[in-house]
Amino acid sequence: MVTISPSLLSANFLKLGEELSAFDSQKDKDLWFHLDIMDGHFVPNMTFGIPVIKQIGMVAKHPLDAHLMVTNPLFYVEHLQEYNIFNLTFHFETTKHHDSLIHKIKKHYPSVGMAINPSTPVDAIPDYILEMLDLVLIMSVNPGFGGQKFIPYALHKVEELNRKRVQSNGLLKYVIQVDGGINSEEAKMLVQKGANNLVAGSYIFNNKNKDDYNQRVESLKANH
């Protein structure tokens, strides 16, 4: 099964409730709402803060997937516990104490993920850390802004992560998520390499007709 995660960074925030309700027909397990949380330090951009996340958590009918692009992920781990976050992903590059942070996230969230930037190799993540993760996020653009072009090398990273997962005899059970510049063509290649969760913002939301949102979601799932 492939899960599609529309990135709300590309949604119309003046009509966010309507944007979220456009996906009500999608099955819960097939669609997550992806929250790109940026602090202006780890990446050169700032997005929504905790009050907006609280409002989204009150009305969203699909799992919330929080992607922390911040220098202090522990702050958000502690302050997002009340807002129905299903998966919380932090960046490998933001801490040296990965195991400690993972344990803290697991106490309060059903799923914990780790993201790696385009310049970070898969082998930088120790196997014992991979065993602790529910999700690994491969960035296929440099984090910070939507609408960027897909970096093809992400396909090799997905293939490597999938190989590790297949050869682990069940020890590695993580979802492979990819985020950045994904359209229907890249989606097909990524799933063939082993990805099973695709984040898409501009591709889904850059349409004036909300009926097109679900058509774009289905096109990302097609031929998988």
- Total Cβ atoms within 10 A of residue 202: 16
pLDDT digits (tens, 9 = 90+) for 101-114: 999 999 999 999 99
Contacts of 111 (CB under 8 A, 6+ apart): 86, 87, 88, 134, 135
pTM attached to this predicted model: 0.95
Contacts of 90 (CB under 8 A, 6+ apart): 68, 73, 77, 101, 105, 113, 114, 115
Burial letters for 145-172: b for 16+ Cβ neighbours within 10 Å, e otherwise?
Answer: ebeeebbeebbebbbbbbebbeeeeeeb
d(CA 45, CA 37): 10
Catalytically annotated residues: 36, 179
pLDDT digits (tens, 9 = 90+) for 142-174: 876 666 789 999 999 999 999 999 999 999 999
| Count of structural domains within the chain | 1
Give which of 60, 70, 66 is closest to 38, Cα–Cα.
70
Position 223 scores a pLDDT of: 59
d(CA 7, CA 201): 4
Position 208 scores a pLDDT of: 64
* Mean pLDDT along residues 51-79: 94
| Domain at 57, CATH number | 3.20.20.70
CA dist list (Å): 45 to 9, 15, 38, 199: 11, 22, 6, 19
Task: Give the pLDDT band of residue 25 (cuts 50, 70, 90).
Answer: confident
Q: Which domain holds residue 39?
A: 3-221
pLDDT digits (tens, 9 = 90+) for 26-62: 877 799 999 999 988 887 788 888 999 999 999 999 9
